[in-house]
């Protein structure tokens, strides 16, 4: 199929006029019958990579998805665009299931969404050859790997699928994959010479901010109230906190609900559904509220507590701005939280697990305290270099932190570690170093004779907490090393040693301070439009969605409504040009939305 005809199919069916990065390449490979591995960030448009080829091909595309709760919405979305799709799962009645089977054997569908355990049922998998399957797409493919954070044992069964479908090309899709997970996916799915397409994990429409955590519930309430139209997620560490924060938000007039694994499944499902349908504005959740969040218009993700690791934090923030419109990611941070997290880790029993958790926590703390570009730090964690700094979308780039000449402080701090090492054969921790520098008279200092060192009491010009900050920055800069043991000790690195000898000037960063300003800047992805018209269009969309019992974004995503409110088309021809308006939706909803725009213009 030519590029031009693929593009016109994209516009006709989904209403988009351009492909997102790598979509076109992935689709071309799939149509050529190749196995493909697609690593695109959340919101990168993975679904389209198998949906569009499914339309072009004869026969059926089987989409394997772990999320039963989501299948209906995905299929509703396809049907709204006029694509014959269906799903099979345990929520269907026997009658309905029979009906769908019949449709499948008659070749009435282009796509079938199904969970792996259902697909692998002997009665089903044996009859697959009768269904004219032409493509298998494994969504959330990282679920197959024990090394990933969402391992699902039922995904393992997929390793047995290939022989049942000889010659059928596979597509594996995921937004997470460390090297190890990637290898697992390729091996277990037996991908054949699959080309691996990796898009940048940068999310240009997201802003990252760290805020000093003071009175967190009040801070969050105030912050959310200043965004009265927006939906978002507040991630909390414990079940209890999710409930307390939701209560606090409700008392402040924000429609919020808690979500955690301890709640009744029916309650959880209702919360998720009402969130999808814009009836609940905020979900206060533990990390149990995860992959299933396919709501495209999540406008903010707040981390109420310090996440355990950067990978989880990145995935969670990634749930904002799936639709490409701006999303804000806020992390409330205090060093007390870091200490609490460390205490949790000490309760673990497996020493290897403890070591890994400590290391991950340390990286997370470094990220939170650092004065460097957040985007660059995140991407660096995933092995990607981001060099367009200032990025325009993080606190450190937008309001650079105050810097100061730290040459003297670093010299005192590093030489104190050096002297301590010389004096004792054992290592000491950050707190002890600081006690020596500030000349504290602790029992240990006396017992070990550290009050005899030349560096004892040389740093009284800074408070202990200032030294903490200085010390942690020197660790981040790599001048000293902190072990990930239970009693972590400090040591000079070779860089630290070299610096002590050369004593080049050194700049340090002042820690985060709270300021009243709630800066909001225009970020990439924003579509400037008349907000009042946008609100009216949303009301209309809500009515249409409720009539059909589907989430509003299935009618049109926010992006489409914002474009409509900006361009204000006067005819159906102009309406058809709006992104997200395909043929089917133009027919079904064009007149209603056009009338709303026209009437709004007449009233002005």
Taking CB within 5 to 8 Å according to partner kind, which of ligand ADP, Zn ion, none is near residue 397? Zn ion
Query: Both tokens of residue 576?
Result: 């058809």
Piece in contact with ligand ADP (CB under 6 A), picked from 45-53, 149-157, 477-485, 541-549: 45-53
Burial class of 18 by CB neighbour count within 10 A (0 to 12, 13 to 18, 19+): exposed
Site membership for ligand ADP, residue 46 (CB under 6 A): yes
Q: Are 268 and 335 in contact (CB under 8 A)?
A: no
Find the shortest distance in angstroms from Cβ 23 to ligand ADP: 6
321 lies in the site for ligand ADP, by CB under 6 A: no
The whole-angstrom separation of Cα 202 and Cα 386 is 8
Task: Kindly state whether residue 319 participates in binding ligand ADP, applying the rule CB under 6 A.
Answer: no
Contact of residue 40 among Zn ion, ligand ADP, none (CB under 5-8 Å per partner type): ligand ADP
Length of the chain: 604
Please, what is the minimum distance in Å from the beta carbon of residue 24 to ligand ADP? 9
Q: Which residues within the stretch 561-580 sit at the binding site for ligand ADP (CB under 6 A)?
A: none
Distance of closest approach, residue 395 Cβ to Zn ion, in angstroms: 8
| Contact with Zn ion (CB under 5 A) among 83, 136, 330, 391 | 391
- Best CA proximity match to 311, nearest among 185, 414, 491, 179: 179
Structure tokens that stand for 136 in this block: 């298998």
539: left (phi over 0), alpha (psi -120 to 50) or beta: alpha
Strand extents, DSSP E, 153-259: 170-174, 195-198, 206-212, 231-235, 256-259
Give strand pairing partners of 61: 111, 135
Interface with ligand ADP: number of residues (CB under 6 A): 16
Q: Quick one: what does residue 322 bind among ligand ADP, Zn ion, none, with the CB cut-off 5 to 8 Å set by partner type?
A: ligand ADP
Given 323, 328, 337, 473, the residue binding ligand ADP (CB under 6 A): 323
Residue whose beta carbon is closest to ligand ADP = 45
Identify what 394 binds: ligand ADP, Zn ion, none; CB under 5 to 8 Å per kind: Zn ion
375 part of the interface to Zn ion, by CB under 5 A: yes
Binding of residue 525 to ligand ADP (CB under 6 A): no
Q: Which is nearer to Zn ion, 268 or 476 (CB)?
A: 476
Asked if 138 contacts 170 with a C-beta cutoff of 8 angstroms, the reply is yes
10 Å Cβ neighbour count for 451? 14
Q: Which does 590 bind (CB under 5 to 8 A by kind): Zn ion, ligand ADP, none?
A: none
45 binds ligand ADP (CB under 6 A): yes
In 310-389, beta strands by DSSP E = 327-333
How far apart are CB 342 and ligand ADP at their closest, in Å?
33
Q: How far apart are alpha carbons 135 and 287 in whole angstroms?
A: 33
45 binds, among Zn ion, ligand ADP, none (CB under 5 to 8 A by kind): ligand ADP
Looking at residues 234 to 263 of the shown chain, list those that interact with ligand ADP (rule: CB under 6 A): none
Shortest approach of Zn ion to residue 329 CB, angstroms? 12
The helix (run of H) or strand (run of E) holding residue 64 is strand 60-64
Q: Is 48 in the site for ligand ADP (CB under 6 A)?
A: yes
Check: CB of residue 250 under 8 Å from CB of residue 318: no
Indicate whether 40 belongs to the interface with ligand ADP (CB under 6 A).
Answer: yes
To ligand ADP, the closest distance from the beta carbon of 549 in angstroms equals: 20
| Two structure tokens written together for 503 | 């004593």
Q: Given the rule CB under 6 A, which of 35-43, 248-256, 352-360, 511-519 is the region that contacts ligand ADP?
A: 35-43
- Using DSSP, state whether 604 is helix, strand or coil: coil
CB-wise, 374 or 563, nearer to ligand ADP?
Answer: 563
- The answer to whether residue 205 forms part of the interface with ligand ADP (CB under 6 A) is no
Distance in Å, CB of 139 to ligand ADP, minimum: 8
Residues 6 or more apart whose CB falls under 8 angstroms from that of 50 comprise: 30, 61, 63, 111, 135, 137, 171, 173
Q: Which stretch binds ligand ADP (CB under 6 A): 46-54, 159-167, 397-405, 478-486?
A: 46-54
209 forms bridges with which residues in the sheet?
A: 330
Q: Does 182 bind ligand ADP (CB under 6 A)?
A: no
Alpha-carbon distance 84 to 51, whole Å?
11
Q: How far is CA 348 from CA 311, 313, 340, 488, 554, in A?
A: 20, 21, 13, 16, 44
Distance CA 292, CA 272 (A): 9
- Binding region for ligand ADP (CB under 6 A): 16, 19-20, 23, 40, 42-48, 296, 322-323, 557
- Binding region for Zn ion (CB under 5 A): 373, 375, 391, 394, 397
């Amino acid at each position: 199929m030519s590029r031009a005809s693929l593009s016109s199919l994209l516009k006709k069916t989904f209403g988009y006029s351009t492909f997102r990065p790598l979509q076109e390449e992935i689709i071309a490979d799939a149509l050529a019958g190749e196995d493909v591995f697609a690593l695109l960030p959340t919101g990168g448009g993975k679904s389209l990579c198998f949906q569009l080829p499914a339309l072009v091909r004869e026969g059926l595309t089987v989409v394997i998805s772990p999320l039963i709760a989501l299948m209906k919405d995905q299929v509703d979305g396809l049907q709204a665009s006029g694509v014959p799709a269906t799903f099979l799962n345990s929520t269907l009645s026997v009658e309905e299931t029979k009906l769908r089977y019949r449709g499948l054997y008659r070749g009435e569908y282009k796509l079938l969404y199904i969970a792996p355990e259902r697909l692998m049922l002997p009665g089903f998998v044996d009859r697959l050859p009768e269904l004219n399957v032409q493509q298998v797409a494994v969504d959330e493919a990282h679920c197959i790997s024990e090394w990933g954070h969402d391992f699902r044992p039922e995904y393992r069964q997929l390793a047995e699928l290939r022989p049942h479908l000889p010659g059928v090309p596979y597509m594996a899709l995921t937004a997470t994959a460390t090297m190890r997970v990637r290898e697992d996916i390729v091996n277990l799915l037996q991908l054949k010479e699959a080309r691996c397409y990796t898009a940048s994990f940068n999310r240009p429409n997201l802003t990252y901010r760290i805020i000093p955590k003071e009175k967190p519930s009040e801070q969050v309430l105030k912050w959310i109230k200043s965004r009265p139209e927006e939906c978002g997620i507040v991630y909390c560490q414990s079940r209890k906190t999710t409930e307390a924060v939701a209560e606090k938000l409700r008392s402040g007039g924000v429609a919020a609900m808690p979500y955690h694994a301890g709640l009744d499944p029916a309650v959880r499902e209702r919360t998720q559904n009402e969130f999808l349908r814009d009836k609940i504005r905020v979900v206060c959740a533990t990390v149990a509220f995860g992959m299933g969040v396919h709501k495209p218009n999540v406008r903010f993700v707040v981390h109420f507590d310090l996440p355990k690791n950067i990978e989880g934090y990145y995935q969670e923030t990634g749930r904002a701005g799936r639709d490409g419109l701006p999303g804000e990611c806020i992390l409330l941070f205090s060093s007390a939280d870091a200490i609490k997290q460390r205490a949790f880790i000490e309760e673990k029993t497996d020493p290897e697990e403890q070591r890994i958790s400590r290391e991950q926590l340390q990286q997370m703390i470094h990220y939170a305290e650092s004065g460097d570009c957040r985007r660059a730090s995140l991407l660096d964690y995933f092995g990607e270099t981001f060099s367009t700094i200032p990025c325009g979308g993080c606190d450190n780039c937008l309001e650079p932190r105050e810097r100061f000449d730290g040459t003297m402080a670093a010299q005192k701090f590093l030489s104190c570690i050096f002297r301590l090492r010389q004096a004792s054969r054992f290592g000491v921790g950050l707190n002890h170093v600081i006690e020596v520098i500030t000349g504290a008279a602790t029992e240990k200092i006396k017992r070990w004779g550290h009050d005899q060192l030349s560096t004892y009491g040389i740093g009284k010009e800074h408070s202990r907490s200032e030294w903490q900050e200085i010390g942690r920055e020197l660790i981040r800069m790599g001048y000293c090393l902190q072990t990930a043991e239970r009693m972590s000790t400090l040591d000079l690195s070779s860089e630290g040693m070299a610096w002590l000898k050369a004593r080049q000037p050194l700049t340090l960063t002042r820690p985060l301070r709270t300021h009243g300003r709630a800066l909001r800047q225009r970020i990439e992805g924003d579509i400037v439009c008349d907000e009042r018209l946008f609100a009216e269009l949303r009301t209309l969309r809500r009515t249409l969605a409720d009539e059909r019992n589907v989430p509003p974004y299935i009618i049109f995503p926010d992006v489409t409504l914002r474009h409509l409110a900006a361009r204000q088309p006067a005819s159906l021809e102009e309406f058809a040009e709006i992104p997200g308006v395909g043929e089917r939706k133009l027919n079904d909803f064009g007149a209603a939305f056009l009338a709303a725009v026209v009437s709004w213009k007449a009233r002005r």
